Every structure is written in structure tokens, then in C-alpha cells.
A and B are shown apart, each in its own frame.
Chain A
Amino acid sequence: MLTVPLLQPLLLAVLLFALGLTGVLVRRNFVFILMSIEIMLNAAGLAFIVAATRWGQADGQVMFAFILVLAASEVAVGLALILRIRHRLTTLDADAADLLRG
């Protein structure tokens, strides 16, 4: 049976996650923030898949299916919110939406 290496895929997952996080933190456009979140979710999914293959368990795959569903619904809600924000603030700048500042 093909032995699956653990380190490299996990490093890839971490890299992807860091990339997504950086995107969330540095991009000001809501659409890009949403895309960055997708990348982070996929990184987490990748980690699950790798772990599932490593130990020959189906649980990781199940979790990935969940993450897919989660990502789909998150995008649905997120896009709707972004539409509303665009409508109200006439911009997609995340820093402009700071009405709840203390």
C-alpha cells in the first residue's frame, strides 16, 4: 500500500491557512476577504484529508464533506451580506463598515 507522507501535505495546509489568514487581515475588499476565508477552510479540509489517509479512517473525509457544505452556506450568506453592505455603504471597503465601533 502506498504510504502517504504526513509532513509535506500538512505543511501545505499550514501554508494555505497562513495565506488565507493574511488575506483576511490585509485585504480590505469584502469579496477578497470572503475568498481568503474559503482558502482557510480548504486548508483545514486538506489537513483532515491527509490525516484520514494517514490512519485509514473515513472520519476525515466525512469532516471534509461537512466543511464543503459549511463553505457553501457561508458563501451564500456572506455574499448576501456583502450585497447589503454594498447597497448601504456604496463601497466594499471592510474598514468603512465600522458602525459598531466603541
Chain B
Amino acid sequence: MLHAIWLVPAIPLLGAVILIIGCGRLPSLLVSIIGVGSVALSAIIASFISIGFITTPPPGNAFTIILWHWMAIGSFSPAIGFYLDPLSLIMMLVVTIIGFFILLYSSEFMAGDEGYSRFFAYMNLFVAAMLVLVLARDLLFLYAGWEGVGLCSYLLIGFWYQDPANGLAARKAFIVTRIGDTGLMIGLFLLFTHLGTLEIQPLMLRATQSWPAGSTMPTLAAVLILIGAIGKSAQIPLQTWLPDAMAGPTPVSALIHAATMVTAGVYLIARTHMLFALAPAVQMAVAVIGAATLLVAAFAALNQHDIKRILAYSTISQIGYMFLALGVGAWSAAIFHFMVHAFFKALLFLAAGAITMRLHHEHDIFRMGGLARRLPVAFWSFFIGAASLAALPLITAGFYSKEMILSATWAEGGRIPVLWAAGVITAFLTSLYIFRAVFIVFFGDLKTPVSGHYGPRITLPLIALSLLALIGGFVETPEGLGGITLFSKFLASVFGEAPVVSGSAANLRLLAASLVSLAGAGLAYALYMRSSPRFTAWAATPAVLGWRRFLFTGWGFDRLYNALAVRPFLAIVRVNRNDAVDYVYQIIALTCRMAHQFLHQSQTGRIRWYAGWLAAGSLVTIAISVLQ
């Protein structure tokens, strides 16, 4: 059964190829059958493989299959091969299953769009590329998937290309992530030249054998890989592309944020965690970047009024949690949060899409309101997603994953409770901003009339993801609440045993974290549900308004980068419009042309002149040869 692993990425790829060859001429029913069916099939195969893997684990708890060798240049022969271990298994399951729900949803959401088949072609390619990324045995093959994901995100963010703003957002996403990709590529070169292989497992082994911890080489390599991860996962300072990526259709956002793309960075660091363990300084940097991103993005999310941008900033912030966990060495906590985040973030985006779809694509939360009664399915699923994101205690999956990260941060960061504090403050802010959205969107007066309806292909994914967002966390609970460790046990063969945190202090911190998220929800209720006039007046004072505008623009990062990078670059381009290098070649061309002007006078067409020149030439030649 495990040998069928190659089918998992191959089937969506085949679907994409068929849809691309179909050139949009296929009937839309066939398109949705191919588009959704291929990912469904791949999800089914992935599930069977997982069952097989768990019931009869292969030797070493890892399975490798090499399909063929890409090329062979001396000792360098990268393989097209897949590597399945508990880590890639979880990633594969999340990508295929969440991907299937999102595709099922979009088969109805995108119905009637003129690019219906193009959409599914891109989405299938996206899923295929992500599966290649998570299953690759070789860093080079992983890089191929990495670039494929980047390409598909570009295509999908700019899906409605008639609007130039969407094209701009797509290019921004592509260029900003490309900065990270360049770092990753240099990192791969460095690893290959020093360790002589790009196959991940031997590479990690050789790194630990030949490089002492904390030396320059692993630090440099880890920094370069980290740059790649930051770009893809939209962490500070390369986070600016993600909010703009909301230009794409909502299911695209769901796919980018939940299953594919932005979690690639988290996966990459988890995959190469041995390298990061060799570079403690870089690992610390991962944690600090995560913590900073957490806070920055949460504050920005608090001031957005586009429902999708709120979710975008919340994704940046939540991935900050994963980076924080990676930074403190809680690898399995990061992957656990990735999984749970995939559940609730896909749910939130799909619910938001279901709302905007019924409101004539109105995205402004202040023009929504009172939707709880009118759209019960969307309300309950958004509410469950929000509760899970806010980590409401006990019943939501988000609670368990966030708790795992926070306790690991405390355990590791005893020296540096700053990181833990950032996590807890963000937990409060997260709860505040998402319940702000919930109260504004679903309660109060109806501001935009609701129209249309949605069918089972929209409600079914919402219900399924709601269930996952609620119960998905019970595979791993803290010591004080049953102490189930299915998830970290499963990942133990990849990351080693996670330390168990117990004791009354741990329980106390657990209680504090739960109270913090409840307090956030409570504050949101007090501020936005009851809408006290004092708060409204305070929010409208000039100083506060200035801050709010500043946070609304995402801490002015866009303006900063425009001033620092974009505008100088454009100025140089303008100066160099005629390309200085071209002048060199223009001089050559000019010389040729002048020589031509001069010589063409001799071409008179008069045969006597030619004969004369011929005679003169012969005379000179003979004279030279005789007189020599």
C-alpha cells in the first residue's frame, strides 16, 4: 500500500493537466468532477496509506520510494522520490483532506465564473505542488514543489486578472516570497557544497556529524533556510504580501492559509530541525521572529474592517505561534498547531466566503450585521472557527494546540518569559479581534440585504470542518486535562520525545491562558456588542485614530518598503531606462554603420572601376610578394 504514495501528488497533477489541456472547453460538470474528484481520490489514497502506516509501521518508522533519478552528474544524483514519515504523513493528510473540502466548496462558490476550469486547474496544481513539497525525499525536489506553490499562489491571487489591483497583489506575493526563495536556494547550494548531498535524512545526519553545534556553517545554512521559510510563511519582515493576497477568490485564501503555501515554511523548519538544533542562535531568532510577528499581526488584525484581511492577519499571527514553537524546540507542538490551524482557518475562510457570497461580495464588516439569524450555518461555523482560533478552553481544538505551545515556551523559555508573555498577550488579542468580527458581523442590525442561497456543497465542508475544529484537539491534551499524547507520541520518531510538563504551576498557567482568551472574548462583547459611547468617543480621538490608521496599514510596512526598496528601484529603472550596458553595443553597431557608409561609396556598379580596383589590388599584392 505504501508504494502507492506517488499517486497522492500524481492524481491532482493529472487532474490539472487534463483541465489545462481542456482549455476551458470542458463542460463545467466534468470540470468539477475532475477538479474535486482528483483531490478526493488522492485524499482517499492518503487515508489508506496512513492507516497502513499506522497499523504496520515500516522499519525505522519511515518509508522511502524512488521513482527515478532526475539526473546524474558525478556524485550528484537527485532523485524523484518520496519520503513518508509521521511528519510528512500528517502534512499529507491535512493537505489532501482540507484541500478536498475547499475544492468541494469552491465547486459551488465559483459556479458561473468564466474561469471555472482555469480555477480548478490552478487549484489542483497547487495541491499537487504542496504534496510534492511535503513528501519530497530530496531538498531539490522539495524546492521544485516550493516553487510550484509560489507559482500557483501567483496565478490564483491574480485569478481575476481584469482588475489591475489583483495583478499587482499577485506580483507582490510572487516577488516578496521570491526574496525568501533566493535565500533558500543559496542555502541549498551551501548545504550541497559542504555535505555533498541534498537527500534530507542523510543530509541532516552528516550535518550533525561534521558540524559542531553553534559553529558558523550550520548557523549560516540555518539562516538561509530561515529566510526562505519567512518568505513563504509571511513572517516579519516579509509578511506584507499576505494581506494583499486576499485579492484572490475566497477558497484560494482558504487553501493558501490553511493547507498549502504559508505552512510550507513551518514544515521546512520542522523537516530540517536537526540543522536548527545545531544553530541555537538561529533557533532563538526563529522564536523571536515568531513572537514579534504574533504581536504585530494581532494588533493589525484588531484594526481591519475587511473580513478577509482580519483573517489574513490572524494567519500571520497564528503562524507566528508555530514559529515560536519551532524556535523553542517544541517541534511537535508546531505541527499540532499547524494541523488545528488548518482546520479552523479553512473553516473561517469558507464561512467568510459563504457570508460575502450572500451579501453581493460585501467584505466590510461594518456593512454587515445581524446575520446570525439569517445565515445560521455560516454563523455557527464562523463562530466555531472563531472560538477555536481564540482558543476558548476545553471545547475547542485551538485551545489544546495553543496551550501546548505556550507550555513549551514556558518550559524552554524559563530564562526568557518575554516569549511566553508575547504568546499570552496575543492569545488575548486574538480572542478580542476575532470576537470583534463575530459581534459586528452577526449581531446588531441588518445592514445589507441577504440574497441567494447556498447548497450542500457549501454547507457540507463547513459542517465537517466545524467538527474537526472542535474535536481535532483531543489527540493531545495537557497533563492536567487527561494527558493524552497521541500526537506527540506519533511524531516522536521524527522529533524525539517531548518533555512532559506537569505540576500545579503548569495547571495554573493553563488556567491563566484560558482566562486570558475568555477575557478577550468578554472584552469584545463589552466593547462591540454593548458599544459603550465612552469607548466609541475614545476610539475617535485624534491620537487613537492616528494609531488605528497606522495599525490598519499593518504597521506601515508597505510604506516603509515602498520608500526603502520599491521607489529607489523604480528611480534607478527610470534613470536607466535606455540601459547603460546597451550603449557599448550601440557603439559597435554605430562603428559598423559608419564603415558601411564609407565603403558603400566604392560600390558604384561600374564594371570599369571594379576592374581598376582589381588591377590595383593585384599590383600591390605582386609588388609585396616580389619586393619581400
Contacts and interface: CB of A to CB of B under 8 A. Distances in A.
Contact of A101 (B605, B611, B615): B605
Given A21-B615, A25-B615, A100 B608 contact: no
Interface stretch (A5-13, A44-52, A62-70, A90-98): A90-98
B600 A102 contact: yes
Interface residues of B, number: 12
Interface residues of A, number: 14
A30 to B, nearest CB: 9
B608 A28 contact: yes
Contacts of A24: 608, 611
B615 A102 contact: no
A74 to B, nearest CB: 14
B561 to A, nearest CB: 57
A81 B523 CA distance: 106
Interface in A54-102: 94-95, 97-102
B608 A95 contact: yes
Interface string B598-628: 0011111111100110010000000000000
Summarize B's interface: helix, strand, loop or mixed.
helix
Contacts of B601: 102
Given A21-B615, A25-B615, A101 B608 contact: no
Nearest to B611: A24
A94 B605 contact: no
A26 B606 CA distance: 12
Contact of A98 (B600, B602, B605, B615): B605
A57 B606 CA distance: 41
A102 B597 CA distance: 10
Nearest to A36: B611
Interface of A: 21, 24-26, 28, 33, 94-95, 97-102
Given A25-B611, A26-B608, 14 more contacts: A21-B615, A25-B615, A28-B608, A95-B608, A98-B605, A98-B606, A99-B605, A100-B605, A101-B603, A101-B604, A101-B606, A102-B601, A102-B602, A102-B605
28 contacts: A21-B611, A21-B615, A24-B608, A24-B611, A25-B608, A25-B612, A25-B615, A28-B608, A33-B607, A33-B608, A94-B606, A94-B607, A94-B608, A95-B606, A95-B608, A97-B605, A98-B604, A99-B605, A100-B603, A101-B604, A101-B605, A101-B606, A102-B600, A102-B601, A102-B602, A102-B603, A102-B604, A102-B605
